Amino acid sequence: MRKSTAERAAFLIALPQTKRRTLLRGMSAEQRQRLRHYWQLWAHAGQLPPGSAWTVWLILAGRGFGKTRAGAEWVRAVAEANPGARIALVAASLPEARNIMVEGASGLLAIAPRGKRPKFEPSRRRLTWPSGAQATLYSAGEPESLRGPQHSHAWCDELAKWINTGGRAEAAWDNLQLGLRLGDLPCVVVTTTPRAVPMVKRLLADEDVATTRGSTFANRANLARGFIRSVQKQYGQTSLGRQELDGEMIADVEGALWTRAMLEAARETAASSPPVRVVVAVDPPVSATGDACGIVVCALGEDGIARVLADCSVEKASPERWARKVAQTAEAWSADRVVAEANQGGAMVASVLRAAEISLPLKLVHAARGKVARAEPVAALYEAGRVRHAGIFPQLEDQLCGLIAGGRYEGPGRSPDRADALVWGLSELLLGRRGEPRILLT
């Protein structure tokens, strides 16, 4: 008797993974298409729930690991099997919840089989499956929205991106937990890239949390070969690569002027106060084949707080190329001034920038002290709550966390070019002549 698709899927799922994949590769495209919604056939081990009982499953892995697909497939399985399920879908913001968790390429609408696709009502932030199960979208930036609603299950995406200014991320998590009181065994899946933020540390410290770790390369079979080669070449064993690809939690360096917690406390999703002054700060490279050209945009807000708006640094660029990038950045951000370090030849820096048609006031500053010594008063501004990051800047922040009190640098690359540009920009906005008194040209 000819087996049904469901019977064939059950037979394949029962096989050892190696044998199963061999049989799947031998099938025609049409045969594989019929089986595409049987997730256990296609998932790698890290995408399937742990076998033991758990209430929180943390998937802490690199980009491309398939975290979103794993979270969406878990929600689908819950919704199809449990008509009474009430599921919370929580992301850093409502647009991210909709664009990634619901409508994304690996989101809930895309993975649903024909006839079992949920109905999405954007105005009500609600999905309803044919079974009767429902899911509601929430923003972690609005923790009070999770106070009151009851749920049986939850999927929290990119927990490490939840903004924790004023304790909002932790409040959102706590409110969610207090509302998980429906059903026999309320549980949560958390999918996130590892970053040393308070909420991720909190979950890792909890012995009752089931944790799955993994790298981008665990999902190699579903990633373009060109992508794998490119990221390995560009990021290799850099701290950014170790975090974003290998899924490694990068710990703070002892004695660092900046810590991950300090940066998270200073973070906001976007500038919350209009700028009154914008500067583009530049740390020029010594040569076109050496270090990066640090280009960082900083602004002073109406509230008196300085903000880092963008990291536009360029790697291994010729003088003409980095100067054009500075000019483009200044125009794009309507900058009031360009501040550039002139230690590597003030006349050259000035002439290169002028050749790039920078018409803004150009200030060349001379470093009388080392990079770390210049950074210390700027780090103190963060501790005093006078600086915020309007977004996430991984490479820049890795460099900041590598500046060690006493003069050492233990971050990625040979030199903290991006961090040095940031220091010049914030010194210009908040420290004035106290930041670096030796000004060569205005």
Range with lowest mean pLDDT among 141-150, 198-207, 263-272, 366-375: 366-375
93-115 pLDDT, tens digit per residue, is 999 999 999 999 999 999 999 88
333-365 pLDDT, tens digit per residue, is 999 999 988 766 545 667 777 776 666 688 888
- Could you state, in order of their start, the residue ranges of all structural domains in the chain? 43-242, 260-441
Provide mean pLDDT across the span 28-45.
78
Closest among 324, 326, 321, 270 to 299, alpha carbons compared = 270
218: confidence class by pLDDT, cuts 50, 70, 90: confident
Three-state SS for 22? helix
225-262 pLDDT, tens digit per residue, is 777 787 777 666 566 677 777 777 777 778 899 988 88
Q: Which residue has tokens 């927990």?
A: 159
* Phi, psi (degrees; rounded to nearest 5) at 145: -70, -20
Residue 242 CA: distances (Å) to CA of 75, 78, 199, 398, 399: 29, 33, 20, 11, 14
CA distance 285 to 61: 34
CA distance 240 to 315: 15
Q: Report the b/e string of 147-184 with b at 16+ CB within 10 A.
A: eeeebbbbbbbbbbbbbbeeebbbbbbebbbebbeebe
Beta carbons of 389 and 263 less than 8 angstroms apart: yes
Q: Which residue has the higher pLDDT, 353 or 74?
A: 74
Residue-level pLDDT at 289: 59
Three-state SS for 1? coil
Residue-level pLDDT at 109: 97
Closest among 21, 392, 42, 52 to 212, alpha carbons compared = 52
155-168 pLDDT, tens digit per residue, is 999 998 898 878 89
For the full predicted model, state whether its pTM sits above 0.85. no
CATH of 43-242, one of 3.40.50.720, 3.40.50.300, 3.90.1150.10, 3.30.460.80: 3.40.50.300
- Strands 267-268, 134-139: pairing is unpaired
Instruction: Please count the other Cβ atoms lying within 10 Å of the Cβ belonging to residue 314.
Output: 18
* Phi, psi (degrees; rounded to nearest 5) at 307: -130, 140
What is the separation, in whole angstroms, between the first and last Cα of the chain? 87
Question: What interhelical angle do 17-25 and 5-13 show, nearest 10?
Answer: 140
CA distance 239 to 160: 16
CA distance 380 to 373: 12
Longest C-alpha distance within the chain, in Å?
A: 88
CA distance 60 to 69: 14
Burial label, 30 (beta-carbon count in 10 A; 0-12, 13-18, 19+): exposed
% of residues, the chain, pLDDT over 90: 49
437: confidence class by pLDDT, cuts 50, 70, 90: very low
401: which strand partners?
A: none
* Phi, psi (degrees; rounded to nearest 5) at 80: -75, -30
Residue-level pLDDT at 429: 95
The dotted CATH code for 260-441 is 3.30.420.240
* Phi, psi (degrees; rounded to nearest 5) at 334: 50, 50
137-146 pLDDT, tens digit per residue, is 999 999 999 9
Beta strands, E only, 182-228? 187-192, 210-214
Beta carbons of 223 and 231 less than 8 angstroms apart: no
Question: What's 269's DSSP letter?
Answer: S
Provide the token pair at 321: 């190329």
Give the helix/strand (H/E) hosting 275. Answer: strand 275-283
